[in-house]
Structure 1
Amino acid sequence: MDVIIMVLVFVSTILALVKFNQHAAAVFSAAFSVTFLFGFISEQDVVASFTNSGLLVLIMLLLASVAIEKTSLIIWLTGKISSKTYPLSWLKLMVTTILGSAFLNNTAVVSTLIRPIRNNPKIAASRLLIPLSYAAILGGTLTLIGTSTNLIVNSMLIDETGEGFRFFEFTKVGLVVIAITSVVIFIVSYKLPDIKNASHKIQDYMIDTKLLAESSLIGKTVEEAGLRHLQSLFLVEIIRNNRTISPVTPKEVLEPTDRLLFSGDINQVSQLDHFDGLSIVVDATEVEFENLTEVVIRPGSHIVGQTLKKVEFRSKFDAAAIAIKRDGESLRGKLGELTLKAGDFLVLVTGKDFNKRHNVKKNFITLSGLQPEQKLSGWREFLAIGGFVGTILGAAIGAFSLFKGLAILLVLLMATGCLTSNDIKQRLAYNIWLIVGSAIALSHGLQNTGTLDILIGWLNLSLNSENGLYVLISIYILTVLLTELVTNNAAAALMFPLAYSIATAGGYEPMTFILAVTFAANTSFISPYSYQTNLMVFNAGQYRLLNFIKAGLPVSLTFSISALAAIIYFYPLTVL
């Protein structure tokens, strides 16, 4: 009876992930709860699952990468991809992204490079954005920390054997895969659509600022003032004596009382504080930019049809609007004079009484709290970059464990202010913790009930020298299919216990099968929904699903064949 229930839990988990692939944490949590409720795992199993050293390494690495994102390192990468010709731009993009993704967070690398790609007037962004995501996936196959998938499999391997992957365990196979697959990516890149203006600038927030009379920027050109080199913020308009200047040229000279309208990422608004005499226009009162809240104006709100100036916003809500966004429409003019519409997004600087006001819920849908991104500079930037590089190098040469190095680094980053409590709260990977911890617990349940042994018997997968290769290929293909249907992390978590048990049951060296699962779970090329960077470029490049399928099929096939061939060459199917 226990086996039947456990099989139902396992199968139901797969089906639920296919149906609700955007809610993998909830699905795995439900599977864990049922497994624990029926007594298939002990309390000791639960504790071991959620405090697995490999899992803690994954969480610490993701937190340490937050500090790296606050430095100029990733921004420096953006300067390496600009070129006038397509082949050279493609080559620079691939090399930069692959190297960056091998050691840094893939999502951060891709999100940083999307902007300069979209702003290249010579080459349509749609010709480069899919290669960008594919390069990030390839780069993740080079090192242990290349992707969260690698670290998830590492967590489960540690749980099984007490030892994880070496830092460069994947590198030999990864280099072969990159060399072969990059050629196919270059070929399919020429088949990508040439979509002009694949940009969503109308989705950016509009931020209203003014030059104070004593500003040192007065008399300087926009270029000289440094307003052309902001990260993710663009000077789109100057209002001078009721006259609008747009577009703004680099040679435009700034004059007293100019109103400067910026468009871009609201999280980068703190950059504007660094310019002398440039003040964000809010209202007649002073505000502290400690807490930002994003809201949407409800249909039927009494402020619809009015302007911020007339509605007495500050007194009514104990909040001040510093930015506005309207989907599908590019906004012009002063923030306080825009007529508000239902569905407008506002970013508010909120006071202490904001959440206590009864009229807030009547007028707004509150989306989230926002934190202006604070960049690191000086010795803090050196500590964040140097500490991260030192930790990786030390772990790579075996001077200390990655766990110890990251633990010490995180303490230093928090003690010196490179990481704040808000950084930890906003970026702590609760979902990954739940997915991996629950998956490890689920694998304990499969083992404790003898379900894995029975599943192997049902599948008639007794390994020998004749069918070992076919079983390995079958596991790889099944993992790829799961990756495209669910997510790469979920596929790896589900397939690891099956692959490991099949290998050990047949007396084979498990590493061959484990690497097959790891590389197969990174084969996320066909569906834009199977990997986060795919989804990011899917939206940014205005692609259709067919664009991904046409490009992804040959890339996925090439990646899979080269990965399997390299795995078998470097890790032969050896009977222990």
Structure 2
Amino acid sequence: MIIQQITFNDVVANATNTGLITLILLLIVSTSLDKTTFLKRIGRTILNKSYSVTYLRLFSLTFFSSALLNNTAVVASLISTIKQNQLHPASKLLIPLSYAAILGGTVTLIGTSTNLIVDSFLIEKGLKGFDFFDFTVFGLSAGIICGVLLYILNPLLPKFAGNKSNYNSYLLEADVEADSELVGKSIEENHLRNLPELFLIEIIRGNKLISPVTPDLVIEKNDKLIFTGNVKNIDNIGHIKGLTFFAETDGLMHENLTEVIVSNRAPIIGKTLKQTGFRALFDAAVVAIRRDGESISGKIGELQLQAGDFLLLATGTDFQKRENISKNFFIVSEQKIMRKLTVLQESFTWFGFITVIALAALSILPLATGLLFFAALLVVTKISSIAEIKRNLPLNLIIVIVGALSLAKGLEHSGVLLMLTNALMPLLEHSSPIVALIIVYLLTLLLTEFVTNNAAAALMFPFAYGLVASLNLPIMPFALAVAFAASASFISPYGYQTNLLVFSASNYKFKHFVKIGTPISMLYSTIVLTMLSWYYF
């Protein structure tokens, strides 16, 4: 802006880029999809004693989910399950998880933000944008073949567990109702050993305490399941049908939980929750309890409270007004948990999302328009809220993409891209279109390993467009080449968000991505370039 290569109006125009708006709407809708039980239910069934079965389940779920859902959200929802598993080293599964999400994202227009950004560039140039399934044949072929190679290369992956999460372990109690889906099946069949950061430590059956809990133990109705672990992951068991938390029976389980410490002068010290009449006394119910320096077990309602106990409370509207709160507790903080959706709300969320995607795929309704109306309906039906949308607005991503789009426009206005095109023209004017396609692809691939995928796409599309105009070639294969190459960040952990997620979740080093990612990148690039050349030239 200082050297007058772009104006303020250019930046504002980039902030209202159709591809960016569509991406933001997709992310907003994704937060509601994350509340549903689909990925959580399947996530519990991924792990198996056989690495081959586990890999097949993990790759298939991640690959096909990422084709329609935000692939970063898919990885984020599965990462804890993989990190905490006791069957296979996390390092053998976390890189495959990220790569499966990257590969799956290239199958449809909405699988990754890169495709939407390139699509918006095409529309901006007055050209026809991508159709929903323009990527599918190429992405599906490259993805499945690379998935097979990734499995063959698994001996190259290191063997170590994921980084241990930093959290305080709370004790949680859940009752098994008579109609629960858990009844009559063993712990292993119910996949209760695969819960991220939550561990089933004992079962109370009548007056009998069962501990330790063996994998072949069959769950019966009215069992009380005692878990310990990270309360932020409470939604990983909250979706199980017929499993009720201690606080849910009082109807107080909301989105916000309040963490308190029992005061050293509290009148409730030495009494159980039942003896104090806790619900009536404080308009709150205990979801979980933690006692530093001492392990606790048994029914939450029958534990004697001690000074210094941490309680996680589901509070009613009257809680803050009660005069006895300060006498008994020090309020520490509020904890956020995922609000549980009803069966009707879950069905509406998935039906609405699939309908919007189908209408866009059939070119009946623009994707951005459909997502906008669907997001509004999610608020009206109270599946989402305005506050939630504000909280989840991806400001960092918006800034990066607007910055990349503005930089691309600046390079175009300044003549830098024209200079590069003119420099390459003597080399390309007498060569085949396939050579030009390979050069555009490789330059984008190199760039995406050093900057984000969105920035690589934004910087390389204007160059590809100028080259195509000079050589009088069709734009579509080059636009697809830029989109595919910008997403193909396998060699560096820094070029793609899913790589960063698994990189920080484990003890991976840069060399691990280079070792496993280089052959994947080479095979992926060969398949994509061969298919694009065969199809268009």
TM-score range, shorter chain: 0.7 to 0.9
**1:496-544, Cα deviation, whole Å (9 max, x unpaired):** 2222222223322222222221111111112223222223333445434
Question: Could you say if the C-alpha distance between residues 507 and 120 of structure 1 is closer, same or farther in structure 2, counting changes exceeding 3 Å?
Answer: same
- Contact kept? 1:217, 1:225, Cα under 8 Å: no
State the shift of 1:571 in Å: 2.5
**1:316-341, Cα deviation, whole Å (9 max, x unpaired):** xxx99987999xx998448986989x
Partner of 1:480: 445
For residue 512 of structure 1, what is the amino acid of its counterpart? Answer: P
* SS of 2:234 mapped into structure 1: helix
TM-score, length-normalised on structure 1? 0.71
The 1-side partners of 2:211 and 2:35 are apart by 31
Partner of 1:494: 459
State the shift of 1:45 in Å: 2.9
The 2-side partners of 1:349 and 1:332 are apart by 23
Of 359, 370, 380, the match for 1:405: 370
The 1-side partners of 2:413 and 2:294 are apart by 61
**1:352-373, Cα deviation, whole Å (9 max, x unpaired):** 89xxxxxxxxx99x9xx75311
The 1-side partners of 2:504 and 2:447 are apart by 23
Partner of 1:24: none
For residue 166 of structure 2, what is the amino acid of its counterpart? Answer: Q
**1:447-480, Cα deviation, whole Å (9 max, x unpaired):** 3343432343355567424164444323322222
- Contact kept? 2:183, 2:221, Cα under 8 Å: no
Of 97, 100, 107, the match for 2:72: 107
Partner of 2:198: 234
Of 536, 541, 550, the match for 2:515: 550
For residue 67 of structure 1, what is the amino acid of its counterpart? Answer: S
For residue 271 of structure 1, what is the amino acid of its counterpart? Answer: G
Does 2:496 align with 1:531?
A: yes
- Contact kept? 1:101, 1:140, Cα under 8 Å: yes
Partner of 1:415: 380
For residue 234 of structure 1, what is the amino acid of its counterpart? Answer: L
Does 2:93 align with 1:139?
A: no
**1:106-152, Cα deviation, whole Å (9 max, x unpaired):** 12322333344456544433322222221111111110011112112
Of 117, 134, 137, the match for 1:169: 134
Question: Could you say if the C-alpha distance between residues 277 and 106 of structure 1 is closer, same or farther in structure 2, counting changes exceeding 3 Å?
Answer: closer
Partner of 2:230: 264
Q: Superposed, which structure 2 residues align to 1:303-382 within 5 Å?
A: 309-310=263-264, 332-333=295-296, 371-382=336-347
The 2-side partners of 1:464 and 1:413 are apart by 53
Q: Structure 1 stretches of 5 or more lacking a match?
A: 1-34, 296-306, 313-318, 354-362
Does 2:171 align with 1:208?
A: yes
Moved more, 75-84 or 374-383: 75-84
* SS of 2:377 mapped into structure 1: helix
The 2-side partners of 1:508 and 1:324 are apart by 67
Moved more, 83-92 or 147-156: 83-92
**1:551-570, Cα deviation, whole Å (9 max, x unpaired):** 11111111112111122222
Of 85, 89, 107, the match for 1:124: 89
The 1-side partners of 2:226 and 2:43 are apart by 26
The 2-side partners of 1:330 and 1:188 are apart by 44
Partner of 2:150: 185
Partner of 2:23: 58
Partner of 2:470: 505
For residue 47 of structure 1, what is the amino acid of its counterpart? Answer: V
* SS of 1:485 mapped into structure 2: coil
For residue 203 of structure 1, what is the amino acid of its counterpart? Answer: N
Of 32, 53, 78, the match for 1:67: 32
State the shift of 1:289 in Å: 5.5
* SS of 1:203 mapped into structure 2: coil
Question: Could you say if the C-alpha distance between residues 526 and 292 of structure 1 is closer, same or farther in structure 2, counting changes exceeding 3 Å?
Answer: farther
**1:57-82, Cα deviation, whole Å (9 max, x unpaired):** 11111111221111122224325534
The 2-side partners of 1:548 and 1:330 are apart by 40
The 1-side partners of 2:52 and 2:422 are apart by 52
For residue 513 of structure 1, what is the amino acid of its counterpart? Answer: F
Tell me the percent identity: 38
The 2-side partners of 1:456 and 1:325 are apart by 65
Q: Superposed, which structure 2 residues align to 1:383-398 within 5 Å?
A: 383-398=348-363
* SS of 1:208 mapped into structure 2: strand
**1:208-228, Cα deviation, whole Å (9 max, x unpaired):** 3468xxx8879x9x9789997
> Number of residue pairs matched?
493
Question: Could you say if the C-alpha distance between residues 513 and 333 of structure 1 is closer, same or farther in structure 2, counting changes exceeding 3 Å?
Answer: same
